[in-house]
Each structure stands twice: as C-alpha cells, then as structure tokens.
A and B are shown apart, each in its own frame.
Chain A
Amino acid sequence: EVQLLESGGGLVQPGGSLRLSCAASGFTLSSYAMSWVRQAPGKGLEWVSGITASGGGTYYADSVKGRFTISRDNSKNTLYLQMNSLKAEDTAVYYCARRTVAGRGFDCWGQGTLVTVSS
C-alpha cells in the first residue's frame, strides 16, 4: 500500500526549531517530486515547499523562505522539513504530499503532523 507517514510535530516556543520527517512506503521515493503543504486551524491549504525527485531543486513559499529547509534521503525513503525561527503563524497541520509522475497534482498525502508555536 502506498503510504506517507509524517512525524516530528509538537509544541515549540516562538523562535524555536523543529524537524519534520515523512516516511514513504509502498513506492520508491526517489522517483517522485515531493512537497510540504500546511493547513492552519480552521483555514485553507498553503503550499510550503517542494523538492525535485533527485533533490537537486528546492522551492519555497515566500512566507517560509530563509527559515525552512526541505531535504530528502532517498536511501531512507524519507523527506524532511527543517523549520527554524518559528513564528505563531506557522502553527498548522503539516502534510507531506507526492506529486504525480506526469502532471502537477499531489496524488498521495500523509495524515499530517500538528506543529504548534506558542509560549
């Protein structure tokens, strides 16, 4: 079964750091571009960051540029999101998502991990 499983969320103080992980199973991660998408409580979806299949290209939303870093370890079938200088407005459920091989939709999503930034 194709599956994505996020971990690493939790409560962190403003200015703190957190690293999210996304473990892939049932498929070969190295064949797919991946992204992180977040959803603040009661709000809509926001694309956060993306990475090419090889890891050679990374992309960020303006709201997180310079603070978040996306990476992947294809040998471990795992995607990461390093989040630094966290702000209250970063509070959200963070989903990892797999991009379709052909096309630009996200055809597989994890269950999400909640990040709460609060003092």
Chain B
Amino acid sequence: QSALTQPASVSGSPGQSITISCTGTSSDVGGYNYVSWYQQHPGKAPKLMIYDVSNRPSGVSNRFSGSKSGNTASLTISGLQAEDEADYYCSSYTSSSPYVFGPGTKVTVL
C-alpha cells in the first residue's frame, strides 16, 4: 500500500495539457521539497522527468513541469504528444523512509 495517491489513469488529445496529481501528507510531500517524477514506457527502465518538485534534468523537454501546493504535487505535460503515452510515478522523501513511490498513473494519448 503506497503512502502516496495518484490517479490510475489520465488521458488527453495531442496538443492538450494534462496534469497528474500526487497526494501525500505533511510527513512526505507536504513536509519536504523532494518530490520527483518518473516516466516509464513498457519494458523499459524509468526516466527522471522532474526532481525536487520543479527541477527538470538536462535533456528533458520543457513541456514537462512540476509544482506543489500543500500535500499535493503535480506534473503537467503540455502539448501532449504520442510519445508521452507511458506510466508516470511520483516519489517523495518521507520522515520514515528516504523514498516512497506513488502507485503510478497511466497516461493515454487519445
């Protein structure tokens, strides 16, 4: 049972923007600016998209952005493209463990 909550699925049409939420508590998401987001295509290793709430690693498209409000972090994908169809996981530092992952969100491009 994950300590973080994500929607099971989110969908959008090409060119649209979508937002994936990641809800925790003051002991994880709300208490630290250590939320990361990962993209995983089937059969592949995860890829870091956002770290420390809103920082984008070199090479990641600026269509991906992260934010946080209270106990909820969000990943926004703008200008949705077919290649964005994948599973997305959030992760947070917690008061009891260095890392916890959310259950994942399947993004479908219609």
Contact = CB atoms under 8 A, between A and B. Distances in A.
User: Are A and B a genuine interacting pair, yes or no?
Assistant: yes
Interface of A: 35, 37, 44-47, 50, 59, 61-62, 95, 97, 100, 103-107, 109-112
B52 interface: yes
A37 B48 CA distance: 13
Nearest to B34: A104
Given A44-B102, A46-B101, A50-B98, A103 B46 contact: no
A41 to B, nearest CB: 12
A104 B36 contact: yes
Contacts, number: 68
- Which secondary structure dominates chain A's binding surface? strand
A47 B101 contact: yes
Interface residues of B, number: 25
A106 B48 contact: yes
Contact of B98 (A59, A95, A105, A112): A59
Contacts of B55: 103, 105
Interface of B: 2, 34, 36, 38, 40, 45-48, 50-52, 55, 57, 89, 91, 93, 97-104
A106 B101 contact: no
Given A100-B51, A103-B52, A105-B36, A47 B100 contact: yes
Nearest to A97: B46
